[in-house]
Amino acid sequence: MLLFNTTDSDFKEKFSELLGRGAMDIEQVSEIVKNIIKEIQSEGNEALKRHIAKFDRWEVKEDSDLMVDPRDMKKAYDKLSSELRDALHLAYDRIRNYHEKQMPKSWIDFDKAGNTLGQKVTPVDRAGLYIPGGKAAYPSSLLMNAIPAIVAGVEEIIVTTPTPDNEINELLLAAAHLCGITKMFKVGGASAIAAMAYGTQTIPKVDVITGPGNIFVATAKKLVYGDVNIDMIAGPSEIGILADNTAIPEYLAIDLLSQAEHDEMASSILITPSAELAESVRELVYVELAKLEREMIARKSIEERGAIIVTETMEEAVELMNRIAPEHLEVVTANPFDLLPHIKHAGAIFLGSFTPEPIGDYMAGPNHTLPTGGTAKFYSPLNVENFLKKSSIISMSEDGINEIGEACALLAKTEGLTAHEKSVRIRLK
Ligand SMILES: NC(=O)c1ccc[n+]([C@@H]2O[C@H](COP(=O)([O-])OP(=O)(O)OC[C@H]3O[C@@H](n4cnc5c(N)ncnc54)[C@H](O)[C@@H]3O)[C@@H](O)[C@H]2O)c1
Ligand SMILES: N[C@H](CO)Cc1c[nH]c[nH+]1
Ligand SMILES: [Zn+2]
């Protein structure tokens, strides 16, 4: 794990290398992903079957093998232990409550001239949720993607998820049942994204694709954007931590590892003005690493993408973190809320020593599908608006058009659009 200081003579180079990593990776996988998308577009299910055999190691004999039987979802739900069922319901309820607060309303205004102006909010007809499943299954991501779509009122929700060795996770099936999902397809990676973007014989084309995934998934979403809407680029997980010397190093070490264990390409960065804290966290990261079930993945991620930066001041630390714009940002300082006004870019901000990032992954309520690779500078967390669009409502009265019609016709005339001008003028008294 890299540990460096902002006063090092080569700090600028080291920091820009850290920032550039995600972008370089996306460049490299683009070619592979472009080919996968082309094959799905031209061959549909036949290409899907080849990709599943290659990446998920099982043979799709018939098109119907691609579909999960909803009865298996119910069976899995019925078999849950009461503890697990309660945990799933607690997460569902908390996520639902949070997302219900996000629902924008349609509105209509009437003015004195009798004009009506407004905005009508409508859900998309069909949403496609990508639920990752290559290295681990993500029932929590199913809740995080399905619930905002349900709250938004989407009529048809489809799910794609990879099933390595044709094995499907029981909790994922149970979560799907809880969310009322009936259309789930066993395909992952760029193939799943292309299938939902363009449609195949079995998988319907959708209006919006949401959901997180590895670099192949994130790159595919970027490439199909425009032919279909997407939520954001939600790629390999990231954690940034801003901490001062009041932080407990054991907490920070395990929090850094919480994201490293997702993916070899995950990134974990601590920035602190305390050199002492930096040293102890680095030591503890290696101690904890050796105890993890997914040690190999986490070790690669920490060694290749983990970093601890020691700054002169906390202001400098915040400034560097804003440049990184991490997916998750923990602020573990004496008064974390004091720093909040200075934090500009992060997918989700976790404040205080009792707010570990994983509480947001499963239970807190806000969405865990978040922008990565610096895209938190312009993307927001997944939310109900990703499943909605707005139409403007305009109705002019006769008095209303007479009041503003001349000005409108003048602008149209000046643009040289005489049919526009006449369309308005013809209605004026
Ligand atoms: N940003 C977020 O909001 C968020 C949330 C949850 C998870 N995640 C991330 O989701 C990811 C899950 O990754 P995963 O791999 O476990 O599952 P995944 O479902 O994202 O990817 C598995 C699929 O990747 C494809 N693939 C694998 N190797 C390939 C190759 N060499 N060439 C082409 N395609 C290939 C295959 O189709 C495979 O089915 C992790 O990176 C995790 O950090 C991000
Ligand atoms: N931390 C992930 C988002 O980067 C979400 C997740 C799901 N399960 C565990 N973690
Ligand atoms: Zn996580």
Tens-digit pLDDT profile for residues 250-298: 999 999 999 999 999 999 999 999 999 999 999 999 999 999 999 999 9
78-123 pLDDT tens trace: 999 999 999 999 999 999 999 999 999 999 999 999 999 999 999 9
361 lines ligand 2 (CB under 6 A): yes
Task: Report CA(368)–ligand 2 centroid distance (Å).
Answer: 6
pTM over 0.95? The answer is yes
Dihedral over Cα of 143, 54, 69, 224: its sign: positive
Question: 10 Å Cβ neighbour count for 267?
Answer: 27
34-86 pLDDT tens trace: 999 999 999 999 999 999 999 999 999 999 999 999 999 999 999 999 999 99
Per the annotation, does 259 bind a ligand?
Answer: yes
Residue count of the chain: 429
Per the annotation, does 237 bind a ligand?
Answer: yes
pLDDT band, very low/low/confident/very high, at 27 (cuts 50, 70, 90): confident
User: Domains in the chain and their CATH numbers?
Assistant: 2-25+236-377 (3.40.50.1980), 44-117+128-201+216-225 (3.40.50.1980), 396-425 (no CATH)
Residue nearest to atom 38 of ligand 1 (CA): 189
Question: 10 Å Cβ neighbour count for 109?
Answer: 10
170 lines ligand 1 (CB under 6 A): no
Q: Which of 297, 298, 145, 295 is nearest to 209 (CA)?
A: 145
Strand ranges (E), 124-237: 126-130, 156-160, 183-185, 208-210, 229-230
Question: What ipTM was estimated for this complex?
Answer: 0.99
Residue nearest to atom 41 of ligand 1 (CA): 236
Catalytic residues: 327-328
In sequence order, the 6+-apart residues with CB closer than 8 A to the CB of 81 are none
Amino acid 23: pLDDT = 67
Q: Which of 279, 276, 280 is nearest to 245 (CA)?
A: 276
* H helix intervals, 154-294: 170-178, 189-198, 215-224, 249-260, 275-289
Spatial distance between the Cα atoms of 219 and 223, rounded to a whole number of angstroms: 6
Spatial distance between the Cα atoms of 417 and 31, rounded to a whole number of angstroms: 44
Amino acid 333: pLDDT = 98
Task: Report CA(301)–ligand 3 centroid distance (Å).
Answer: 14
In this predicted structure, the answer to whether residue 24 has a pLDDT above a threshold of 90 is: no
249 lines ligand 1 (CB under 6 A): no
Q: Which of 78, 65, 47, 69 is nearest to 183 (CA)?
A: 69
Q: Which of 6, 32, 28, 33 is nearest to 18 (CA)?
A: 6
Task: Report CA(217)–ligand 1 centroid distance (Å).
Answer: 6
Strands 267-272 and 388-395: unpaired
* DSSP line for 339-351: HGGG----SEEEE
